[in-house]
Amino acid sequence: MAGAAEKKIDIFTFQRAKLLQQYCGDIFYIYENDNQFLCVLADGLGSGHEAHLAAKAVIDTVKKEPEEDLVLLMEHCNQAISGLRGAAVAIIRADFDTKKLSYVGLGNIRFYMVDNHAKLSFPLSTTGFLSGKRQHFKQKVLEFKPGSKFLIHSDGLVLKKVKNYLTSSLCVVKTGHTIERLIPDIPMDDVTFVIGKFPE
Ligand SMILES: [Mn+2]
Q: Quote the ligand 1 centre to 186 CA distance (angstroms).
A: 14
Q: Which of 147, 158, 163 is nearest to 193 (CA)?
A: 158
Q: Quote the ligand 1 centre to 130 CA distance (angstroms).
A: 14
Q: Quote the ligand 1 centre to 156 CA distance (angstroms).
A: 5
pLDDT at 124: 83
- Cα 37 to Cα 98: distance, rounded to the nearest angstrom: 12
Q: Quote the ligand 1 centre to 103 CA distance (angstroms).
A: 19
- Cα 9 to Cα 63: distance, rounded to the nearest angstrom: 19
pLDDT by residue (tens digit) across 1-39?
A: 444 455 688 999 999 999 999 999 999 999 999 999 999
In sequence order, which residues have a C-beta less than 8 Å from that of residue 69 and are 6 or more positions away?
Answer: none
Q: Quote the ligand 1 centre to 5 CA distance (angstroms).
A: 38
pLDDT by residue (tens digit) across 60-103?
A: 999 999 999 999 999 999 999 999 999 999 999 999 999 999 99
- Does 113 score more than 70 pLDDT? yes
pLDDT at 73: 98
Mean of per-residue pLDDT scores for the chain: 94
DSSP the chain: -TT------EEEEEEE-GGG-SS-SEEEEEEE-SSEEEEEEEEESSSHHHHHHHHHHHHHHHHH-TTS-HHHHHHHHHHHHTTS--EEEEEEEEETTTTEEEEEEESS-EEEEEBTTS-EE-PPPBSS-B-SS------EEEEBPTT-EEEEE-TT---S-HHHHHHSSS-HHHHHHHHHTTS-SS-SS-EEEEEEE---
Q: Quote the ligand 1 centre to 154 CA distance (angstroms).
A: 6
Is residue 78 within 8 Å of residue 70, measured between CB atoms? Answer: no
| Number of neighbours of residue 77 by Cβ within 10 angstroms | 25
Q: Quote the ligand 1 centre to 35 CA distance (angstroms).
A: 31
Q: Quote the ligand 1 centre to 2 CA distance (angstroms).
A: 44
Q: Quote the ligand 1 centre to 97 CA distance (angstroms).
A: 34
pLDDT at 1: 41
Domains of the chain: 11-197 (3.60.40.10)
Q: Quote the ligand 1 centre to 16 CA distance (angstroms).
A: 11
- Cα 39 to Cα 163: distance, rounded to the nearest angstrom: 20
Q: Quote the ligand 1 centre to 44 CA distance (angstroms).
A: 7
Q: Quote the ligand 1 centre to 190 CA distance (angstroms).
A: 6
Q: Quote the ligand 1 centre to 87 CA distance (angstroms).
A: 9
Q: Quote the ligand 1 centre to 93 CA distance (angstroms).
A: 22
Q: Quote the ligand 1 centre to 166 CA distance (angstroms).
A: 22
Alpha carbons within 13 angstroms on the beta-carbon side of residue 73 total: 27
Main-chain dihedrals φ then ψ at residue 185, nearest 5 degrees: -60, -35
pLDDT at 200: 87
pLDDT at 7: 63
